[in-house]
């Protein structure tokens, strides 16, 4: 047993973040209890026939937009026979296997909702947390004390619909993508999909096969990346390589921009971003350009006004519309945390390294999952969980509170420089930079220079091959070098 034997951890949520946090706690000798308000694991991947308010939701046809090789946990690969980009039902099965393999289910209390998490008293030295839990079956609540808390409540459950002139007077039907399940009810209709994120791309492409016509409205445009790039390799296996991360940002952008635009000229399709290429300008979609090409789908600029039966756009055009899908993203909050514990301003969470609220010492509470990127999210969540557990175990020393607060302010300013005041990007990180930064603190960075001297084949694989999650199991705590050999990096 490790030195952490007996220390209790409350994990909130049993989605990907909660599962991997529970698993990492167990691996380090903590005693985790995971509370999940739903009746099963998986969070967003726990597909339901209808969506309910306050819960994450998926549409029936959703297929992963990151490859299985790059999206798996670092120590648990997908079954060989799974497709490269699995349907969501396969991802749920994968999570079931993970939970079974690491014996996680007996650590999870389903149908238990966390109502409040607060310090046991106001003292700076108090490190314990009082957690109020509601048993949703009986309605009873209990108050429990934990040594540590990991918050994993997700951030895709509170639909955001913009306030657009005339929407109240629109006589057609409108929904948010959160409530979209499939094309039924859209057959033969004139549909407008608002937004150009991944949800908008998938939904508009699907509807364009069933509706009379589909229009998509975008304010900023985007680049579309197909799942398979040159030689049929998944785009993330091509793009996420350590070697590239050494290139200056301007060169990286130019190379990627050229590559994406050489396949289809985005301007000709009306989807070109109206600003320089940054990490924001990307969705993964194989169909959208073709649906435009065959005339089932038309791009439109931003909306200026809704009328009773039509919509007006910035270019002066007007279209008769029967149904609207707002694929305009999500708001988020952590309702059970007090603002004295964590401040979130306009979707910017003041979290050191996107994990630790700087203001509450000693640091016994972490947030895993409040992060976004243009790459697989699952390995990021795993790395955040490893960071949190190493921190709780006393293996990571944090800088003084003031320094952590300034680091959050600096990040806020950097994001503002990159994205203006667009709050949608307030949790964005650069995948490789962020993974490597956390890995250095966790102690699991691959020792690239050492491999050059001792194992040149491994050195080349780590440097020039896809940065598969198993690269972060070559060294340090939870080391499993065979993981890279077994299942990854092909």
Ligand X SMILES: NC(=O)c1ccc[n+]([C@@H]2O[C@H](COP(=O)([O-])OP(=O)(O)OC[C@H]3O[C@@H](n4cnc5c(N)ncnc54)[C@H](OP(=O)(O)O)[C@@H]3O)[C@@H](O)[C@H]2O)c1
Ligand Y SMILES: Cc1cc2nc3c(=O)[nH]c(=O)nc-3n(C[C@H](O)[C@H](O)[C@H](O)COP(=O)(O)OP(=O)(O)OC[C@H]3O[C@@H](n4cnc5c(N)ncnc54)[C@H](O)[C@@H]3O)c2cc1C
Binding site for ligand X (CB under 6 A): 62-65, 156, 162, 177, 194-200, 202, 219-220, 327-329, 372, 422, 424
d(CA 43, CA 55): 8
| Binders in 381-400 for ligand Y, by CB under 6 A | 381
Q: Which of ligand Y, ligand X, none lies near 196, with the C-beta cut-off 5 to 8 A by kind?
A: ligand X
Q: Which residue pairs from 175-180 have beta carbons closer than 8 angstroms and sit at least 24 positions apart in sequence?
A: 175/323, 175/324, 175/325, 175/326, 176/325, 176/326, 176/327, 176/328, 177/59, 177/203, 177/325, 177/326, 177/327, 177/328, 178/51, 178/57, 178/330, 179/51, 179/57, 180/59, 180/325, 180/327
Q: Which residue pairs from 480-484 have beta carbons closer than 8 angstroms and sit at least 24 positions apart in sequence?
A: 480/74, 480/75, 483/74, 483/75, 483/77
Q: Least distance (Å) from ligand Y to the CB of residue 121?
A: 23
Q: Which of ligand Y, ligand X, none lies near 395, with the C-beta cut-off 5 to 8 A by kind?
A: none
Q: Which of ligand X, ligand Y, none lies near 473, with the C-beta cut-off 5 to 8 A by kind?
A: none
Helix (H, G, I), strand (E, B) or coil at 191: strand
Helix (H, G, I), strand (E, B) or coil at 17: helix
Nearer to ligand X, 117 or 194 (CB): 194
Nearer to ligand X, 425 or 451 (CB): 425
Nearer to ligand X, 14 or 64 (CB): 64
| Binders in 57-76 for ligand Y, by CB under 6 A | 58, 62, 64-66, 71
Q: Which of ligand X, ligand Y, none lies near 456, with the C-beta cut-off 5 to 8 A by kind?
A: none
* Binding test (CB under 6 A) with ligand Y, winner from 30, 35, 102, 146: 35
Q: Which of ligand X, ligand Y, none lies near 37, with the C-beta cut-off 5 to 8 A by kind?
A: ligand Y
| Binders in 135-194 for ligand Y, by CB under 6 A | 152-154, 156
Nearer to ligand X, 17 or 62 (CB): 62
Q: Which of ligand Y, ligand X, none lies near 327, with the C-beta cut-off 5 to 8 A by kind?
A: ligand X
d(CA 351, CA 342): 8
Strand partners, 141: 134
476: contact with ligand Y by CB under 6 A: no
Q: Least distance (Å) from ligand X to the CB of residue 383?
A: 17
User: In Å, how far are 68, 70, 371, 388 from 466, measured between CA atoms?
Assistant: 12, 8, 22, 26
Q: Which of ligand X, ligand Y, none lies near 200, with the C-beta cut-off 5 to 8 A by kind?
A: ligand X
Nearer to ligand X, 65 or 69 (CB): 65
User: In Å, how far are 34, 127, 241, 346, 462 from 151, measured between CA atoms?
Assistant: 10, 16, 31, 19, 32
56: contact with ligand Y by CB under 6 A: yes
DSSP string, 357-396: -TTSSS--EEE-S--B-SS-SHHHHHHHHHHHHHHHTT-S
Nearer to ligand X, 21 or 57 (CB): 57
109: contact with ligand Y by CB under 6 A: no
Alpha helices in 135-229 (DSSP H): 198-207
* Residue whose tokens read 């000709």: 268
* Residue whose tokens read 């090409």: 293
Q: Which of ligand X, ligand Y, none lies near 43, with the C-beta cut-off 5 to 8 A by kind?
A: ligand Y
Sign of CA dihedral 142, 145, 146, 152: positive
User: Which residue number places its CB atom closest to ligand X?
Assistant: 197
Contacting residues toward ligand Y, per CB under 6 A: 12-18, 35-38, 43-44, 55-56, 58, 62, 64-66, 71, 113-114, 152-154, 156, 199, 336, 369, 376-378, 381
């Amino acid at each position: 047993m490790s030195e952490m034997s007996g220390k209790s951890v409350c994990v909130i949520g049993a989605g990907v973040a909660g599962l991997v946090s529970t698993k990492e706690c167990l691996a380090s000798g903590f005693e985790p209890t995971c509370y999940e308000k739903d009746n099963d694991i998986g969070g967003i991947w726990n597909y339901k026939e209808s969506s309910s308010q306050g819960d994450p939701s998926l549409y029936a046809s959703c297929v992963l937009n990151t490859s299985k090789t790059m999206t798996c946990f670092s120590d648990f690969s997908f079954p060989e026979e799974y497709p490269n980009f699995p349907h969501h039902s396969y991802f749920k099965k994968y999570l079931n296997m993970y939970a079974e393999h690491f014996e996680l289910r007996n650590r999870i209390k389903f149908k238990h909702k966390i109502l409040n998490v607060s310090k046991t008293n106001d003292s700076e030295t108090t490190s314990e947390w009082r957690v109020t839990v509601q048993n949703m079956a009986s309605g009873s609540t209990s108050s429990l004390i934990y040594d540590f808390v990991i918050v994993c409540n997700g951030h895709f459950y509170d639909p955001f619909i913009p306030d657009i002139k005339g929407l109240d007077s629109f006589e057609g039907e409108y929904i948010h993508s959160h409530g979209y399940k499939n094309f039924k009810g859209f057959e033969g209709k004139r549909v407008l999909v608002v937004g150009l994120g991944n949800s908008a791309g998938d939904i508009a492409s699907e509807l364009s096969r069933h509706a009379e016509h589909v229009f998509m409205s975008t304010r900023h445009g985007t680049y579309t990346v197909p799942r398979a790039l040159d030689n049929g390799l998944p785009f993330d296996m091509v793009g996420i390589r350590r070697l590239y991360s050494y290139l200056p940002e301007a060169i990286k952008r130019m190379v990627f921009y050229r590559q994406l635009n050489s396949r289809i000229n985005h301007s000709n399709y009306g989807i070109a971003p109206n600003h320089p290429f940054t990490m924001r300008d990307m969705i993964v979609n194989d169909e959208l350009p073709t649906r435009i090409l065959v005339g089932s789908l038309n791009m439109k600029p931003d909306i200026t006004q809704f009328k009773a039966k039509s919509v007006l756009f910035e270019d002066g055009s007007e279209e008769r519309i029967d149904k609207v899908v707002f694929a305009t993203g999500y708001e988020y909050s952590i309702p059970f945390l007090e603002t004295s514990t964590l401040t979130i301003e306009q979707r910017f969470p003041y979290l050191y390294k996107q994990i630790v609220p700087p203001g509450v010492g000693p640091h016994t509470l972490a947030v895993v999952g409040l992060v976004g990127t243009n790459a697989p999210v699952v390995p990021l969540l795993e790395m955040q969980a490893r960071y949190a557990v190493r921190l709780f175990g006393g293996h990571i020393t944090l800088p003084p509170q003031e320094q952590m607060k300034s680091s959050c302010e600096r990040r806020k300013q950097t994001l503002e420089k990159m994205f203006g005041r667009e709050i949608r990007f307030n949790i964005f990180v650069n995948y490789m930079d962020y993974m490597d930064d956390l890995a250095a603190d966790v102690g699991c960075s691959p020792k690239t220079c050492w491999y050059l001297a001792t194992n040149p084949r491994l050195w080349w694989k780590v440097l020039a091959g896809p940065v598969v999650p198993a690269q972060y199991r070559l060294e340090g705590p939870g080391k499993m070098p065979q993981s890279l050999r077994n299942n990854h990096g092909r």
